[in-house]
Structure 1
């Protein structure tokens, strides 16, 4: 018994389980990949700073501003370049809500028949796509100055049902207007980014295609996906993760090239972003972010804030 209590016997017996637990935690949270990328990120900074968004340069300019008049969970964000405003959806009391670029409510439109409305994306003037997370349905809707409510029965719909697993379905949307691709983020289990052509309906509708890039998805060192944003200028895709508190910029080949951390002390943040759910970007590259239940953030490069 005394032999078992000797330090040279006891120490390995304690350290081995601890190391196993640390390794499992590191794998679960993708900590090793994230740490290695942080080293690589600055090594290729000179290569990418002039031809990418380069997220490390962003600083918070509006932090944790409460969206007055809104207590329900905001679940997405998209920018409308025609109206120069933002749109979000809530899923507890389902609404499509228009916000000013300062995070103020401009109007609220109740949603009927959209299920678990989780994401909204601007497609073209007056045209949006809304996703139903649980049923993995997409709805093409029309919104103009006179719109006061939306009924799913009036919309063009697409149902996919890929690996249905409850509240871990279609969490984010982004649209490439040049390539006419709709990116759809599946939250997790497994985490995936689908690319859909032919929806919303146009002359390509009969050529509906749904593809993914498993190699790209495996490179995403995050636990989940909450939102997507496509940058028309660079062709790069931004992926937001709530659980990892991170935004990742992916290049044309789907490789991570830069990140924006949502943790306290990073990018000027006084506190960590609690539950980031929606990400949008305007023509100047300014990033807008919403966090449940009703917080609003803005990130911009210093030159853009002067």
Structure 2
């Protein structure tokens, strides 16, 4: 009669270690929260107020931005010029792009440090962020602008979480509420709301208020924040994460409503977006994405 062979304790330990490791990895990448959100999204239809990211499909994929060797970082739509602006950080430049990803002009940036984000504020007015020094720099651009010097510009430094090399990675602006959203990449991952900067009447006294929402930020099931986009029509915020390959739509209370995956096979993508760094939305709701080093994407609703 054969004796039953009992599993060795070593096997139990290996299985246990594997399970614990899988759980740690899943928690690290917020996979449990993401799976729960996807399940809820399947059970509950998206409301009419939602942007509805799940419906978007790629119409221009991984187009190389010709003539650009440096890493693109961030993206913003200029509704006046009907064009896009991005910044490069290795060789600092402010670059204007057409809506099909062609370079229209290049503006040298002097003294901007690690330029990481740019945001349209009003006609001819933009804010550029310096990630490492946590500076926000207001600049004026017209048809004759050939270079911008930070020393000549109005700027402010927040000085939050000094010493971290994961600084201000994304900007978005609410022109009605006069709020500038600033995304801190991670460690910790935060979204600040700045009231009072930039200001438009320098001859008058003004004050700057910085507000954050820990409850909203804790509910973001992404690994990092690369870029932001504020939608004036819905009042919702889009948050882009390159490490999670995801765009999240947040309602006015900061609750996730819909998502757009940047993995291959999703939303018509043949390949995953390698390192998404910038997102912008135009007046028609078309989404534009940039990915390092120099790739350009367009997503539209059918």
* Equivalent-residue separation in structure 1 for 2:200 and 2:98 (angstroms): 30
Matched, 1:71 2:69: yes
Match of 1:266 in 2: 266
Q: 1:41 deviation in Å?
A: 1.3
Q: 1:205 deviation in Å?
A: 6.2
Q: 1:124 deviation in Å?
A: 0.3
SS in 2 for 1:76: strand
SS in 2 for 1:15: helix
Q: Deviations over 1:255-301 (max 9, x none)?
A: 00100000000000000000000000001100000000000000000
Structure 2 unaligned runs (5+)? Answer: none
* Equivalent-residue separation in structure 1 for 2:163 and 2:270 (angstroms): 36
Matched, 1:247 2:247: yes
Q: 1:43 deviation in Å?
A: 2.1
SS in 2 for 1:157: strand
Q: Deviations over 1:155-176 (max 9, x none)?
A: 1001011002343000000000
Match of 1:283 in 2: 283
* Equivalent-residue separation in structure 2 for 1:157 and 1:247 (angstroms): 29
Q: Are 1:199 and 1:205, in contact at CA under 8 Å, matched by a contact in 2?
A: no
SS in 1 for 2:20: helix
SS in 1 for 2:269: coil
Match of 1:62 in 2: 60
* Equivalent-residue separation in structure 2 for 1:182 and 1:12 (angstroms): 53
SS in 1 for 2:73: coil
Q: 1:10 deviation in Å?
A: 3.5
Match of 1:179 in 2: 177
Q: 1:154 deviation in Å?
A: 1.2
Which range moved further: 35-44 or 76-85? Answer: 35-44
Match of 2:217 in 1: 217
Match of 2:186 in 1: 188
* Equivalent-residue separation in structure 1 for 2:163 and 2:32 (angstroms): 28
The aligned length equals 296
* Equivalent-residue separation in structure 1 for 2:132 and 2:184 (angstroms): 10
Structure 1 unaligned runs (5+)? Answer: none
Match of 1:37 in 2: 37
Which residues in structure 2 correspond to 1:120-159 (within 5 Å)? Answer: 120-159=118-157
Q: 1:62 deviation in Å?
A: 0.3
Match of 1:53 in 2: 51
TM-score of the superposition, structure 1-length normalised?
A: 0.95
* Equivalent-residue separation in structure 1 for 2:211 and 2:277 (angstroms): 24
Q: Are 1:198 and 1:205, in contact at CA under 8 Å, matched by a contact in 2?
A: no
TM-score of the superposition, structure 2-length normalised?
A: 0.96
Match of 1:109 in 2: 107
SS in 2 for 1:189: coil
Structure 1 stretches of 4+ with a deviation exceeding 4 A read none
Q: Are 1:238 and 1:249, in contact at CA under 8 Å, matched by a contact in 2?
A: yes
SS in 2 for 1:139: strand
Q: 1:201 deviation in Å?
A: 1.5
Match of 1:170 in 2: 168
Q: Deviations over 1:199-246 (max 9, x none)?
A: 002358622100100000000000100000000000000000000000
Q: For the aligned residues, what is the CA RMSD?
A: 1.2
Match of 1:95 in 2: 93
* Equivalent-residue separation in structure 2 for 1:273 and 1:146 (angstroms): 35
